[in-house]
Amino acid sequence: MQSLKELYKIGNGPSSSHTMGPKRATEAFKNKNSNADKFKIILYGSLARTGKGHLTDFIIKKSLEGYKTEILFDTNFKCDVHPNTFDIFAYKNGKEIDKWRVYSIGGGSFRIEGEPEFVAKDVYKQKKFMEIRKYCEKKNIDLYDYVCEVEGKENITNFLSEVWTIMQKSINNGLNAKGVIPGKLKLKRKAKDVYERKLNYEMEDTQKIRLLSSYAYAVGEENACGGVIVTAPTCGACGVLPAALYYMKQKYKISDEKIIKALAVAGVIGNVVKSNASISGAECGCQAEIGTACSMAAGAVAYLLGLDMERIDNSAEVAMEHHLGLTCDPVYGYVQIPCIERNAVAAVRAIDAAILSSMLKEDCLVTFDMVVETMYETGKDLSTHYRETSEGGLAKKYCNNKFNCD
Ligand code: SF4
């Protein structure tokens, strides 16, 4: 598994695979070919189908500011290797001088065909959660200690501390913002209203859902508006983990120091999914994004509740299991409907999964590793209509409604 720094990425929304990955790849290609006078990009697969709504063309143009740039959308190309594929060409005096085929593999990471050196190296020896669990149990250390052992305590703690600062900032920015989210859906930002709305006789359950949802909405709306967020594990699912952690911090007066340790726990869980399956909605549907985010948050909450490794394993498992089959069908390709609300639902679910798990005393028959493999196989079986193409599900239904047609 790679460093947690490859999982948590700080950057602008709205999509880790459609904006962050293409932006990073385009900038790397531009730096390699700074003598070029023109660039051409051809987007394929999900990037071609939902790139407009996800602002892929906008971010690529911005990354190539000052250069002549041509961007084409090819929806007919068959993406055999990865659904988020694009070609980028550099020209000088009308002659092609360089070319990359890029795969935006989710979470802001990318791979270049034939150039393995661009793939971040694995720093963790263990890949499966059970291997990690056994290693930690044998050494009598927790998951935070494990991360420190591999990545260096000071190094990773400073990094996670920055991650936590940005996550909290995105919550606060989102809770204080008003107005309409860019795009033709003209969605009103709701986080502030949800946070401020208090029922006269608010029950504890209602308060919990209201607070968690407002935090998740805040981050999801920041992301949809192109604000700065942290991929956890992706932009589309960036609200789940901060919402759950912020709720725990406020409700139980948990220190930032402890929350930072919980971020390490969540990072290991996200990394397990990334290494053994996928965190890309274009590859495996929303179960890979929101399902993973929910597992990360549930594991982190379990850690904050003082639960042992078996319960952390089980919390992450429960959170993923009940997202199996969840499709990715963003309306008009925007990371707005169903994405923002889905973050809120998953944040609530993450806390519930950890609490439920704390009550399950017997050995659990399904492990987190097992459900991760299942998620991957299920994702591969999903029709492309349900993998970030906006060709099926809610996206299709909404656009078929005569009132919503273009
Ligand atoms: S539906 Fe899920 S996977 Fe698809 S863009 Fe939205 S958050 Fe990402």
Per-residue pLDDT tens digits for 379-403: 999 999 999 888 999 999 998 874 5
Q: Which domain holds residue 56?
A: 15-118
Where does ligand 1 bind, in terms of residues with CB under 6 Å?
A: 236-237, 281, 286, 289-290, 328, 330, 335, 338-339, 342, 388
Q: What is the pLDDT of residue 361?
A: 74
Tell me the CA end-to-end span of the chain in Å, nearest whole number.
Answer: 44
Strands (DSSP E) contained in 8-67 are 10-12, 38-44
Q: What is the pLDDT of residue 327?
A: 98
Per-residue pLDDT tens digits for 308-365: 999 999 999 999 999 999 999 999 989 999 999 999 999 999 999 999 999 987 778 9
53: domain CATH number is 3.30.1330.90
Is the Cβ–Cβ distance between 6 and 120 less than 8 Å?
A: yes
Gap between the Cα atoms of 198 and 384, Å rounded: 42
Per-residue pLDDT tens digits for 263-294: 999 999 999 999 999 999 999 999 999 999 99
**Final residue of a structural domain among 118, 138, 155:** 118
Residue in 335, 386, 396, 397 to alter for ligand 1 test, most ligand atoms within 8 A of Cβ: 335
Q: How many CA atoms lie within 13 A of 293 on its CB side?
A: 36
User: Do residue 283 and residue 396 come from a single domain?
Assistant: yes
**Final residue of a structural domain among 87, 118, 149:** 118
Q: How confident is the model at residue 29 (pLDDT cuts 50, 70, 90)?
A: very high
Which residues are within 8 A (CB) of 235 and not within 5 positions of it... i.e. 6 or more apart?
A: 11, 13, 14, 15, 16, 19, 20, 108, 223, 229, 335
Q: What is the pLDDT of residue 404?
A: 47
Q: What is the pLDDT of residue 270?
A: 98
Domain contains 4: no
Gap between the Cα atoms of 151 and 1, Å rounded: 12
Average pLDDT of the residues in 13-39: 93
User: Do residue 177 and residue 325 come from a single domain?
Assistant: yes
Report helix, strand or coil for 87: strand
- Residue 405 pLDDT > 60: no
Q: How confident is the model at residue 406 (pLDDT cuts 50, 70, 90)?
A: very low
Q: What is the pLDDT of residue 9?
A: 93
Per-residue pLDDT tens digits for 185-242: 999 999 999 999 877 777 888 999 999 999 999 999 999 998 999 999 999 999 999 9
Q: What is the pLDDT of residue 266?
A: 98
Per-residue pLDDT tens digits for 248-263: 999 999 999 999 999 9
Per-residue pLDDT tens digits for 66-117: 999 999 999 999 988 999 999 999 999 999 999 999 999 877 889 999 887 5
List the residue whose alpha carbon is closest to atom 4 of ligand 1: 328
Check residues 373 and 19 and name the one with the higher pLDDT.
373
319: domain CATH number is 1.10.4100
- Residue 163 pLDDT > 90: yes
Gap from CA of 328 to ligand 1 centroid (Å): 5
User: Strands 95-106 and 68-74, how do they pair?
Assistant: unpaired
Gap from CA of 292 to ligand 1 centroid (Å): 12
User: Do residue 162 and residue 83 come from a single domain?
Assistant: no
Give the DSSP H/E element, type plus range, for residue 258.
Answer: helix 256-276
Helix orientation angle between 292-304 and 256-276, rounded to the nearest 10 degrees: 140
Q: What is the pLDDT of residue 118?
A: 64
Which residues are within 8 A (CB) of 249 and not within 5 positions of it... i.e. 6 or more apart?
A: 256, 259
Cα-to-chain-centroid distance, residue 26: 20
User: Do residue 154 and residue 173 come from a single domain?
Assistant: yes
User: Do residue 75 and residue 182 come from a single domain?
Assistant: no
Alpha-carbon radius of gyration of the chain: 21
User: Do residue 44 and residue 190 come from a single domain?
Assistant: no
Atom of ligand 1 nearest to the CA of 288: 3
Give the DSSP H/E element, type plus range, for residue 346.
Answer: helix 339-359
Tell me how far CA of residue 130 lies from CA of 47, 71, 269, 314, in angstroms.
35, 45, 11, 11
